[in-house]
Amino acid sequence: MASEKTVTRSSYGLGKHGVVNTATQHWNLGAEALYEATVRRGLGTVTKGGALACQTGKYTGRSPNDKFILEEPKTKESIWWGKVNRPISQDRFDRLHTMLSVYLQNRDLYIQDLYAGADPAHRIKVRVVSESPWHALFARNMFIRPPAEDLANFVPDATILHAPFMNAVPERDGTNSECFVLADLARKLVLIGGTQYAGEIKKSVFGMMNYILPEKGVLPMHCSANIGQQGDVAVFFGLSGTGKTTLSADGTRTLIGDDEHGWSDNGVFNFEGGCYAKVINLSQEAEPEIYATTRRFGTILENVVFDPFTREVDLFDGSLAENTRASYPIDFIPNVEPTGMGGLPKNIVMLTADAFGVLPPISELTPDQAMYHFLSGYTARVAGTERGVTEPQATFSTCFGAPFMPRHPTVYAKMLGEKMAKTGARCWLVNTGWSGGQYGVGKRMSIQYTRAMLRAAIEGKLASVARVQDPNFGLLVPENCPDVPNDVLQPKTTWSDGSAYDETARNLRGLFQDNFKQFETDVSDDIKKAGIYAA
């Protein structure tokens, strides 16, 4: 007796999105079929070990100047308008929507119906419609795949129409370039065109969740999260390059997720079903779990160089992009929490890569300091990571994720403060950047030391250790830590020139003060005073 074929095509068709007269619709294909389509169309190459290498062309990262939010009555008053969230008019949005819908006619389309949010109480149903098979695989890797029985009657809450090979015309369409990323938060509709960088899909969904969840009392967070053997949950905030993905993938703890989470009254839950790890200069010795995914079928390697004959990938070659990435399902990492959920956090870790070399490698924050540093979202760029960057440059991205926060930062900061107060969670600032001098003089903090400090903090081994107050930032620095030399804990002692340290620290403190002026009218005096300290 023949088995009954599983129905993977939703009865809620593309016509509901204004997309009609398509050539062929490929619904919820698995990795094997999407690999075949990608290779057949010349959009990717299978590398040694089985990963799929794809290039994104001109755009090798997000394009923040090309992102717009529809200005319309239902959501207008709740958006944090400015450099991050730029408005686009209804007329221009509708015109590009129509053009994109027409463009998708007579094309092969790849549709993935997925979930964002592991907690059923707070998830949304997301549909990604793309002309590119490897971008469909990216969406399938990054979000949560519903059981097959849910696909036939899948009705999306949010939709992404993705046309990476369709270019806008700025003079005609009111965009800044040929690339456009447009969000209608009322209808939960995103239009993406003119860029092959897959991260735009992922971050568009994150931005949607960041708008939706605060009204439900859930704090959306740009963070990773893991669970200890005693059920204790830790969350890790941090911008790109600070070690968020690496440090949360700790073999002694169970990974919940590596990038985006919600904090509800019941606990923490992952938004995604995959990881999007930066892999430039990734080594097997330092990060074996992530390294292994770059040699595995199902992983997408973005802008990673490989030998055309042997197909061996070279993670140390940044000639295509510094921002090389690997996208893979989260279960490619061993020791993962299958539900994507955990309890209430006991520890909050804020990661920074201070290229000026003046912040302590670990310090505990008071609740007011935690709010200050959450709103600041500091790290530093170094030479080689971006064009024109030849010396350390301070970067402040509020809530450690400003480009993805549609609401005012104080909305998220207030929620963090309330949840910390309710749960008694402890907060740690960890500097994974430079020690013994700024970039070019000092050295990058040893990852072994960083791991030792984090484990000591999360396991409660620093609870009774005496603290020394940092004279520039008021941070509470432990005097000692297991498996870490005492002199490493005090940044000034690692510098050969103490006066140079003092001057650099004062300059960075000034940058913090200047950046925080934008929030001074929206926070309490205690929070304003918490970020700096003059002995």
User: How far is the C-alpha of 291 from the C-alpha of 511, rounded, in Å?
Assistant: 36
- Residue 468 exposed, middle or buried by CB count within 10 Å (0-12, 13-18, 19+): middle
HSE, CB side, 13 Å, CA atoms: give it for residue 357: 27
What are the tokens at 357?
Answer: 């070399």
- Which residue stretches of 182-331 are H helix? 199-212, 244-248, 288-293
- Residue 11 exposed, middle or buried by CB count within 10 Å (0-12, 13-18, 19+): exposed
Positions marked active-site: 62, 203, 222, 240, 244-245, 259, 325
352 touches 475 (CB < 8 A): no
User: How far is the C-alpha of 70 from the C-alpha of 85, rounded, in Å?
Assistant: 10
Which residue bears the tokens 């074929």?
Answer: 5
HSE, CB side, 13 Å, CA atoms: give it for residue 379: 24
333 touches 289 (CB < 8 A): yes
> Which residue, 168, 131, 167, is CA-closest to 19?
131
Q: What 3-state class would DSSP assign to 373?
A: helix
285 touches 155 (CB < 8 A): no
Q: What residues have CB less than 8 Å from 89, skipping those under 6 apart? A: 71, 174
User: How far is the C-alpha of 302 from the C-alpha of 279, rounded, in Å?
Assistant: 9
DSSP string, 31-93: HHHHHHHHHHTTS-EEPTTS-EEE--TT--S--GGGEEEE--TTTGGGS-BTTTBEEE-HHHH
Which residue bears the tokens 């002692």?
Answer: 493
Q: What residues have CB less than 8 Å from 4, skipping those under 6 apart? A: none
